[in-house]
A and B are shown apart, each in its own frame.
Chain A
């Protein structure tokens, strides 16, 4: 196999078969949505509605709170119930607008995907429309797309890469989008290319998604847009930006720098579809495809969900949680872990009363023996973590330095280069929480450095 890839990395069991053949289904209209004002990297949005206001689906309810920020929009018709601090799926609390729905929804119309929808925009107008629609990177980090499309003048971006890897176990939302809405993906990519004046589009896709390769190829051909599809080895973290660029173009992004430093822009599949919707229908980012999967959910599904739908409602629509008795391994305690995202980089939730946000690519429910052990044992220097670290670090050392707060050593052993992909913890036979300790180290380093 001569597939392109990056150095090191892991091959976890992917469990994608649970949902990879399930068509994307439109979820029920939620009766209430909770829309956090912090759904992206950078400054939170400034709220522009107040308790009691009537809002329409797609109406802006929070405007960008700075340059690196993005607006947020109401995802249903209804009345603002309150603006309060609410538990955030990314951890902690954030100011959120709670809207009680009136049971109606807006008809955004239907447009046949064609390139002509882009012709009425100039490059700057494209950027503006994308910014207005509150579009952010939908792979998880949620970096505002408008900012990404506006590099400093001295930096010219000539390459656009679509991240079609979706290397997180369980998640299939991007996969289904590429299969079912390939034309929208391609048009969204073309819009990005035109807005920054790039010359080349690559699609990086893992070889476990052959069906998506053919649908994307077809769509590109029928729209006569030139894209180069690069088939990559199925390996985690193939979808990490720096690993993807290395695999697709061979370029190496310097430590601590953004991909634009090497003239590359990477975009998520969901983001391109959101861009298409914004340009074709004028619809802001109020809906996204989310994979609900894991061994803890009764009916795994790929759902098109309104931003702000609570996890509780989503779980209900997927048949609820599997009862511990139904699991074959009865010796494990009846525990459940609910993640915003996939099992490698997702954030564990303390309650199910948290909303789906723009960056929620999946909701993973783990139970039984899929839940990791809570005890760890001493490091036996087996070097597994060193063999898999995609960044070429020595995780066992950095983790201990983080745990012990050895600031100088953290710096000289390049702790800040860690992308927290979790490969080291995954392979550790002693089950040491390496990433957790490295994170602690990075926080200490940031505070003091």
Chain B
């Protein structure tokens, strides 16, 4: 969706007269001769000097950061994971293409945003999820989650999470049917419970180290905390995510988890368990940090991340579902416009009276 800024410029600024240089030769023959190779002057509004960041650049780095998590999920779940990721990826890209075509907009699927949605959606699905369901989720995520709002930058909710929420409502059984990773299971396709479900419904806690490396049942991207952390830290290193968001989210989850743990350590899991299970890492590093659907102000980002973290643990511990990351983020997404409005930074020098300082000394 690129537009040409020259259109507006031409109405506001005098047209470049570079081509009109020669006629002035009479007055200043020497000067005009001195720069015969002036190729044509660009006229634009200041600043004339920009840094080299670009939207595709950011998006491609996010994809790069997600790659290790994809590879690990393929290692754990083999072909199931691979085919699911590929299906979601292409379904999202195709939907994006068709929507843009239908809306008469420039085709910019190479910018990587739809690809990210596809990968993220795949990472939130269980490995045994049927492919037709994955396609439906992808179409919903892009068409309803993103394009209907106007496309890139204008969606209110994280498209991947919206797609997953849609699938959760449509296929509640399929989406909670988990299989053991191929690295554990002797027989392919044995159903198993996720660590979160084990905890919630049977009160069995899983070993932290297993959770950390991800050798457990779960969605593709829910298994290995360490690999997701690695991807997130890469993005942080590149400066594409704000450290406040994952820190606020995970910190709030840990503190809220600790609160419940001290209330009743038999019934509720310890804080570390919260951070290492389910979508916590994926959500904290790749969804809470989604630029489009999070606040732009400093304070707004803190409120967003911390509140979402608290909600996630409350859903896990008190709600009917074992996992609360998805709904916590989607719920807070809807508050972003309000947060932006309410948490504007103080304008430099606003509200000061002139008598405050200096003046009459």
Query: B residues near A, CB below 8 A?
Result: 1-6, 8, 12-18, 20-21, 24, 27-28, 30-32, 34-35, 37-51, 53-55, 57-58, 108, 111, 113, 151-154, 242, 291-298, 301, 340, 344-350, 352-354, 356-361
Return the contact of B242 from the options A335, A379, A383, A430 (Cβ within 8 A). Answer: A383
Do A337 and B350 touch across chains, with their CB atoms under 8 A apart?
A: no
Do B296 and A396 touch across chains, with their CB atoms under 8 A apart?
A: yes
Q: Is A449 an interface residue (CB 8 A)?
A: no
Return the contact of B2 from the options A255, A262, A377 (Cβ within 8 A). Answer: A377
Contacts of B361 in A (CB 8 A): 156, 158, 263
Q: Is A316 an interface residue (CB 8 A)?
A: yes
User: Number of A residues contacting the other chain (C-beta, 8 Å)?
Assistant: 94
Contacts of A382 in B (CB 8 A): 58, 291, 296
The DSSP consensus for interface residues of chain B is loop
A441 to chain B, nearest CB (A): 13
Q: Is A446 an interface residue (CB 8 A)?
A: no
With A316-B30, A380-B291 in contact, is A343–B352 under 8 Å at CB? no
Q: List 11 A-B contacts (CB under 8 A).
A: A169-B49, A242-B349, A344-B48, A350-B17, A373-B50, A380-B152, A380-B292, A386-B296, A390-B348, A391-B349, A425-B47
Return the contact of A425 from the options B24, B43, B50, B108 (Cβ within 8 A). Answer: B50
B301 to chain A, nearest CB (A): 8
Do B358 and A391 touch across chains, with their CB atoms under 8 A apart?
A: no
Residue of A nearest to B1 (CB): A378
With A377-B55, A382-B58 in contact, is A350–B14 under 8 Å at CB? yes
Return the contact of B46 from the options A254, A261, A334, A345 (Cβ within 8 A). Answer: A345
Query: A residues near B, CB below 8 A?
Result: 7, 12, 32, 87, 91-92, 154-156, 158-159, 169, 242, 246, 251-255, 257, 261-264, 310, 312-313, 315-316, 320-321, 323-324, 333-339, 343-353, 364, 366, 370-384, 386-387, 390-394, 396-397, 413-414, 417, 420, 422, 425-431, 433, 435-436, 439-440
Contacts of B154 in A (CB 8 A): 378
Contacts of A343 in B (CB 8 A): 46-49
Do B348 and A252 touch across chains, with their CB atoms under 8 A apart?
A: yes
Contacts of B43 in A (CB 8 A): 337, 348-350
Return the contact of B13 from the options A91, A156, A310 (Cβ within 8 A). Answer: A91
Do A394 and B296 touch across chains, with their CB atoms under 8 A apart?
A: yes
B324 to chain A, nearest CB (A): 25
Do A386 and B345 touch across chains, with their CB atoms under 8 A apart?
A: yes
Do A254 and B354 touch across chains, with their CB atoms under 8 A apart?
A: yes
Do B348 and A7 touch across chains, with their CB atoms under 8 A apart?
A: yes
Return the contact of B348 from the options A242, A397, A427, A436 (Cβ within 8 A). Answer: A242
B113 to chain A, nearest CB (A): 8
Contacts of B18 in A (CB 8 A): 350-351
With A312-B32, A374-B6, A386-B345 in contact, is A251–B17 under 8 Å at CB? no
B343 to chain A, nearest CB (A): 10
Return the contact of A353 from the options B14, B24, B55, B344 (Cβ within 8 A). Answer: B24
Do B359 and A261 touch across chains, with their CB atoms under 8 A apart?
A: yes
Do B358 and A351 touch across chains, with their CB atoms under 8 A apart?
A: no
Contacts of A156 in B (CB 8 A): 359-361
Do A92 and B31 touch across chains, with their CB atoms under 8 A apart?
A: no
With A264-B358, A372-B48 in contact, is A321–B35 under 8 Å at CB? yes
Contacts of A370 in B (CB 8 A): 49
Do A350 and B13 touch across chains, with their CB atoms under 8 A apart?
A: yes
Do A439 and B153 touch across chains, with their CB atoms under 8 A apart?
A: no
CA of A396 to CA of B8, assembled, Å: 18
With A254-B354, A392-B347 in contact, is A431–B1 under 8 Å at CB? no
With A262-B357, A431-B50 in contact, is A383–B35 under 8 Å at CB? no
Residue of B nearest to A343 (CB): B49
Do B153 and A378 touch across chains, with their CB atoms under 8 A apart?
A: yes
- In this complex, the member of A169, A253, A323 whose beta carbon has the largest number of chain B beta carbons within 10 angstroms is A253
Contacts of B21 in A (CB 8 A): 351-353
Do A255 and B58 touch across chains, with their CB atoms under 8 A apart?
A: no
Do A336 and B45 touch across chains, with their CB atoms under 8 A apart?
A: no
Residue of B nearest to A168 (CB): B49
